[in-house]
Amino acid sequence: MLRYRIVNIPYPVDEEESADIWQALCLTEPAGPEKNVIVAFISPGLSVEILDTDLLIDENHPDFASCGLSGPSTVRFHILTTVPASAIKKQTGILTPSLQAEVREKITTIFSVGRASHSPCL
């Protein structure tokens, strides 16, 4: 299972040899013939500009240790991409049920699922 796992992926994905390694949150299980996974990028540190759709996780968060983050981080749900599961270099942690609930709330907000209002991203 990959959903709700924090993973390391190369970015850009198609340039593995020269790519930087980024942390990302898996939002789906692998799907399709290419076994693609939708991920949200994680910015190291607490971002200067915080959006309603960002999830902040720092050392003071009660679930920080289980996440496997390298330090304070911002999960940016407006920065999504699809990567083949084979591009995942390492799983570093998993979100707790309470953080998973926050993720579902952020995803609902950004895509305005079940709401009459329009998402600023769509």
> What is d(CA 33, CA 41) in angstroms, rounded to the nearest whole number?
23
Of 76, 95, 98, the residue nearest 22 (C-alpha)? 76
Q: Which 3 state secondary structure label does DSSP give 8?
A: strand
Report whether 12 contacts 24 (CB < 8 A): no
pLDDT per residue over 54-112, tens digit each? Answer: 999 989 999 999 999 989 999 999 999 999 999 999 999 999 999 999 999 999 888 87
Q: Which domains does the chain have, with CATH numbers?
A: 5-111 (2.30.30.110)
The residue ranking higher by pLDDT, 116 or 46, is 46
Of 83, 103, 78, the residue nearest 39 (C-alpha)? 83
